[in-house]
Structure 1
């Protein structure tokens, strides 16, 4: 999401209807251009992905979405496969990744992955919903590696709390959790970095679209269920000019011992 000036529409019902009508296929957030922005993580995941893919012979991208991020690599491995669990994204990904000669496999959102043991020397995933560490270790060859940019615990907490109030409970999606889970699966973490990224919403349409698309932010979100909270947030945005939250990300790279 690029940093740009906000749009000028201010009517609450018009904005909510606009955000509720946008199709959700793929993992392309370009509709938010001019409505919302998010800082990029300093490590440059796209560049790291391109580098690792250029050196791989057989690679798997898990939870590829619409294939938009993977499609940016300049050089594909000899064998490239992507998986996606949300049915509307599968055909989008197949069209997007056709130019790379990549196969796209529709999968369930739980193990096992439909591949033989030690099938890949690289597994990647950007913003996976779940990371099935034992499965990643299983499909990696000895000496292979896993590269992932993950959504950290408490990401855009300010937004979720604006709708549902303060949340309590143990947070598991942390770098420390990833380190322990990777080790338990037999992988050795060689890189682990964290970042907190400023995320700005300029209108309530952007909030509605974001909550519909990034469903884990408020899992039971619908416009009708949260209309009073959305109206209060709209009034806050109108008064303050924007709503600011903070996304949390971490990069993890792990190797399967040879």
Structure 2
């Protein structure tokens, strides 16, 4: 017997959304993973680094999953519930968590790290990344690409302008990285299938990923949520396309500048 809208709403509206762990969605939504294997590649780079910075670490879940971290590893996070969660998870692993506003400047000296990473940053401050990287250092990141899950976003907000569909394009990231003095050595974009199997998954997702529908609350969007619930009940999972891009960039070594 299928569950009612009221039951699904109540469950999803009360679920905790701190951190960047999406295990609550297991069995309720699926997202195809990019082919490049970000965590595996991140682990390889972390194992070779001597000082690493993870920007916008969320609850620290991704960084905690790295098998071997450098002797000096630092993570930044701005949202207080995530700062607390990341501190609890990462401090026992020897990682320093710094509460940061996610606005420039980064609270670190020039050339402090030979590896800077970020998974799904809201904003990438390229000039600051270049500043804190040592000559020869690497920036490695998986990011949300253009028009990601816009089928869902536009269900609630209506059609969005073409210029909004163009935001977060990897070509722009390349241009910004190079403008900051970095050399992009890898840039890949993939479009991936995402499915939501019930309205509870949609509510949880929009509560957690707050920039998708910035003014989202269950109360404000209940008519649309009910309509989407009925659509899923009638037609099956709601399908959207998630976009992700991988970017790796290097700061020129001192010898290459001579």
TM-based fold match above 0.5:
yes
Distance 2:52 2:34 in 1: 23
CA contact (8 A) 2:147 2:167 kept: no
1:95 to 88, 96, 117: 88
Q: Which residue number corresponds to residue 117 of structure 2?
A: 124
User: 1:146-161 alignment to 2 at 5 Å?
Assistant: 146-161=139-154
Q: Mean Cα displacement is larger for which, 135-144 or 92-101?
A: 92-101
2:106 to 97, 106, 113: 113
User: 1:9-28 alignment to 2 at 5 Å?
Assistant: 9-28=2-21
Please report the RMSD computed on the Cα atoms of aligned residues, expressed in angstroms: 0.9
Q: Which residue number corresponds to residue 37 of structure 2?
A: 44
Whether 1:185 and 2:180 are equivalent positions in the alignment is yes
1:238 to 233, 238, 257: 233
Mind listing any 5+ residue stretches in structure 1 that lack a counterpart?
1-7
Distance 2:63 2:90 in 1: 8
Deviation string 1:52-80 (CA, Å, 9 cap, x unpaired) is 00000000000000000111111110100
2:74 to 68, 81, 99: 81
Q: Which residue number corresponds to residue 247 of structure 1?
A: 242
Distance 1:164 1:9 in 2: 28
CA contact (8 A) 2:149 2:240 kept: yes
Residues paired across the two proteins, number:
251
CA contact (8 A) 1:62 1:128 kept: yes
Whether 1:71 and 2:64 are equivalent positions in the alignment is yes
TM-fit CA distance, 1:99: 3.4
TM-fit CA distance, 1:100: 2.3
Mind listing any 5+ residue stretches in structure 2 that lack a counterpart?
254-258
User: 1:205-244 alignment to 2 at 5 Å?
Assistant: 205-244=200-239
Distance 2:232 2:99 in 1: 40
